[in-house]
């Protein structure tokens, strides 16, 4: 058997296939911004010094002009610019840059994006400190036909050493953007370069408008201590991949938070790579372990965050992470473990929401903390440990005295007949602060008298009509349950009273069901 070799060849017409790449308009345009920002990061010290002299508010400025009707797409930056060698390198298909750890990993972005947008493109560049300006014109169809020599011009006259820029223009467009798409491009670019805006590094101008990112901090829910629901995380994940480079543990960091009020498009995780958004608002990443499968519950409207995955592989179009092995599953499980409390809170209905029921998470936590403090107080310990101050006979006499006083001197707030028994409710503001908060006379078979002391210290802790309603509801149902237990059993059994009262407390919900 004879072994021979074949030469692996890539034809020039591959450049024409770039127009069929699965780009979105914003990810294609971002390729140019990535090149500009990476050029700045690679030469930051020199450029900050140069642009400081120009008194620019931000050291890097990228201006994108687009007009479909005039066949204009133009990107201009004041980054480092390119020397002849660097320009030659940039035009070499699939030749990675020297620094592959940043935003320009593959050496393909500018070429694929420009070819996706149009068939004619021009690059004009001038490097800081160089006395030459280069202009090169690329005809995609000509190169695809096998004529891959590209003509360029060099200008040396009137060139200032301090100037530095790159201008890329694309014409003969393969696709045109109108209306909502133009607006969506602006939305996505705002989101994608939010970290550069935060760092005050980048001024990005799209069709005459300087873009910025609106932070969500002021929209986050507040916990019982007055702090926003926002917490940072950092951990490492490995992989079962056979690739030695992928076996290395990779850092995962970011933050998660809960919006006070949100919508589905506001929530979810934003994925960063090299401080640039790979996948984010308004189409965020939603790990199924946390967000479920296509749900639109409160959690999917309120739980959000940002996750940085710098050491992970990204797709060729830089719009997704290329997961290796079980990386994604590890991240989902770790996030779920770290933020289970946030997940529960995010799914809690809020007061004011038409579909909400019961107290909010914050209201519940405040109440539980206050009750715990109350139960731990020395005052309660003293009250519990003191011997009874009144005998059973004295208690009965005090009840009779209160009932006699209201029957002779006061009018009930309401009288309600329930089957064979009539309930009388008295709200008394002239009772002593030392009188009991509630007095019930339920010994008779046909009536229940309930007296609530409005001068009791507890009354002054009640807030709002809902608070009064719930307090009176418990007082009245205590009285009815006591009467029912006495009537059925001939004695007052605490557990029986609880069973009766439990049924009464369900009445409001049953009434709502029947009315609807």
What whole-number distance in Å separates Cα of residue 193 and Cα of residue 110? 17
Determine which of 23-27, 302-306, 498-502 has the lowest per-residue pLDDT on average.
Answer: 498-502
**Of 201, 205, 214, 167, which is closest to residue 186 (Cα–Cα)?**
205
- The confidence band for 188, taking pLDDT boundaries of 50, 70 and 90, is very high
Same domain, 87 and 167: yes
Tell me whether residue 86 is in a domain: yes
pLDDT value, residue 425: 93
Tell me whether residue 7 is in a domain: no
Mean pLDDT of 39-47: 94
Does 434 or 63 have the greater pLDDT score?
63
pLDDT value, residue 9: 47
**Which of helix, strand or coil describes residue 457?**
helix
Is the confidence at residue 330, as pLDDT, over 50? yes
Q: What is the percent of the chain with per-residue pLDDT over 70, rounded to a whole number?
A: 83
Same domain, 157 and 294: no
Whether the Cβ atoms of residue 325 and residue 241 lie closer than 8 Å to each other: yes
Same domain, 25 and 54: yes
- The confidence band for 8, taking pLDDT boundaries of 50, 70 and 90, is very low
Same domain, 374 and 276: no
CATH of the domain at 106: 3.30.565.10
Tell me whether residue 6 is in a domain: no
pLDDT value, residue 355: 44
pLDDT value, residue 507: 66
Same domain, 399 and 282: no
CATH of the domain at 268: 3.30.230.10
With the CA atoms of 402, 405, 409 and 410 taken in that order, what torsion angle do they form, in degrees rounded to the nearest 10?
10
Same domain, 375 and 313: no
pLDDT digits (tens, 9 = 90+) for 95-144: 666 666 778 766 677 889 999 999 999 999 999 999 999 999 999 888 88
Mean pLDDT of 189-201: 96
Same domain, 52 and 201: yes
pLDDT digits (tens, 9 = 90+) for 449-508: 999 988 887 887 777 777 888 889 988 888 888 888 877 666 665 665 656 556 666 666
pLDDT digits (tens, 9 = 90+) for 220-269: 999 888 899 999 999 999 876 666 655 678 999 999 999 998 888 899 99
Tell me how many domains the chain contains: 4
Does 39 or 375 have the greater pLDDT score?
39
Tell me whether residue 195 is in a domain: yes
What whole-number distance in Å separates Cα of residue 346 and Cα of residue 259? 8
Is the confidence at residue 306, as pLDDT, over 70? yes
Tell me whether residue 140 is in a domain: yes
Same domain, 32 and 129: yes
Whether the Cβ atoms of residue 309 and residue 273 lie closer than 8 Å to each other: yes
Tell me whether residue 143 is in a domain: yes
Q: Which of 332, 365, 386 is the last residue of a domain?
A: 386
Tell me whether residue 483 is in a domain: yes
Same domain, 70 and 202: yes
pLDDT value, residue 489: 64
pLDDT digits (tens, 9 = 90+) for 344-370: 999 887 654 444 456 666 677 777 777
pLDDT value, residue 6: 55
The CA distances from residue 25 to 66, 75, 83, 176, in Å, are 12, 14, 29, 10
Is the confidence at residue 86, as pLDDT, over 50? yes
Is the confidence at residue 2, as pLDDT, over 50? yes
pLDDT value, residue 262: 86
Mean pLDDT score of the chain: 85
Tell me whether residue 416 is in a domain: yes
Mean pLDDT of 260-283: 92
CA 97, 99, 105, 110 torsion: positive or negative?
A: negative
Q: What are phi and psi for residue 123, nearest 5 degrees?
A: -120, 125
Same domain, 227 and 133: no
pLDDT value, residue 455: 85
Same domain, 322 and 196: no
What whole-number distance in Å separates Cα of residue 80 and Cα of residue 93? 21
Prior bond of 282 cis (ω within 30°):
yes
Same domain, 381 and 465: no
Q: For residue 362, what are the domain limits?
A: 350-386
pLDDT value, residue 254: 98
Residue with tokens 């891959």: 148
């Amino acid at each position: 058997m004879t072994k021979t070799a074949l030469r692996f060849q890539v034809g020039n017409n591959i450049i024409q296939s770039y127009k069929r790449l699965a780009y979105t308009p914003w990810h294609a345009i971002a390729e140019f911004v990535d090149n500009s920002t990476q050029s700045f990061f690679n030469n930051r010290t020199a450029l900050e010094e140069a642009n400081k002299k120009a008194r620019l508010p931000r050291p890097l400025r990228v201006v994108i002009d687009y007009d479909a009707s005039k066949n204009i797409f133009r990107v201009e930056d004041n980054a480092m610019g390119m020397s002849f060698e660097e320009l030659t390198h940039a035009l070499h298909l699939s030749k990675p840059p020297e620094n592959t750890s940043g935003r320009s990993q593959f050496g393909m972005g500018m070429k694929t994006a420009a070819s996706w947008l149009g068939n004619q493109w021009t690059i004009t560049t001038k490097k800081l400190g160089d006395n030459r300006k280069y202009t090169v014109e690329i005809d995609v169809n000509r190169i695809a036909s096998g004529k891959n020599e590209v003509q360029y011009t060099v200008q040396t006259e009137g060139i200032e050493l301090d100037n530095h820029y790159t201008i890329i223009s694309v014409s003969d467009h393969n696709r045109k953007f109108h209306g909502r798409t133009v607006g969506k491009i602006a939305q996505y670019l705002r989101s994608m370069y939010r970290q550069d805006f935060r760092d005050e590094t980048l001024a990005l101008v799209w069709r005459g408008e300087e873009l910025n990112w609106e932070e969500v901090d002021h929209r986050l829910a507040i916990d019982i201590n007055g702090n926003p629901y926002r917490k940072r995380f950092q951990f490492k994940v490995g992989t079962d991949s056979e690739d030695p480079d992928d076996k290395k543990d990779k850092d995962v960091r970011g933050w998660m938070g809960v919006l006070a009020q949100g919508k589905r498009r506001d929530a979810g995780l934003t994925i960063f790579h090299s401080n640039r958004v790979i996948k984010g608002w308004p189409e965020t990443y939603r790990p199924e372990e946390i967000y479920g499968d296509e749900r639109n519950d409160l959690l999917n409207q309120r739980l959000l965050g940002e996750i940085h995955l710098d050491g992970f592989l990204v797709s060729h179009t830089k719009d997704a992470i290329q997961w290796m092995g079980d990386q994604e599953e590890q991240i989902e499980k770790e996030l779920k473990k770290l933020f289970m409390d946030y997940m529960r809170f995010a799914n809690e209905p809020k007061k004011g929401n038409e579909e909400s029921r019961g107290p909010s998470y914050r209201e519940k936590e405040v109440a539980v903390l206050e009750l715990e403090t109350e139960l731990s107080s020395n005052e309660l310990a003293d009250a519990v440990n003191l011997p009874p101050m009144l005998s059973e006979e004295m208690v009965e006499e005090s009840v009779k005295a209160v009932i006699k006083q209201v029957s002779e001197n006061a009018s009930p707030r309401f009288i309600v007949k329930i089957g064979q028994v009539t309930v009388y409710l008295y709200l008394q503001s002239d009772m002593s602060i030392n009188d009991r908060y509630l007095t019930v006379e339920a010994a008779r078979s046909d009536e229940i008298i309930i007296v609530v002391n409005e001068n009791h210290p507890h009354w002054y802790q009640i807030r709002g009509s809902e608070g009064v309603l719930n307090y009176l509801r418990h007082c009245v149902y205590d009285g009815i349950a006591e009467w029912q237990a006495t009537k059925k059993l001939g004695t007052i059994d605490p557990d029986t009273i609880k069973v009766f009262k439990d049924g009464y407390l369900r009445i409001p919900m049953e009434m709502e069901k029947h009315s609807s």
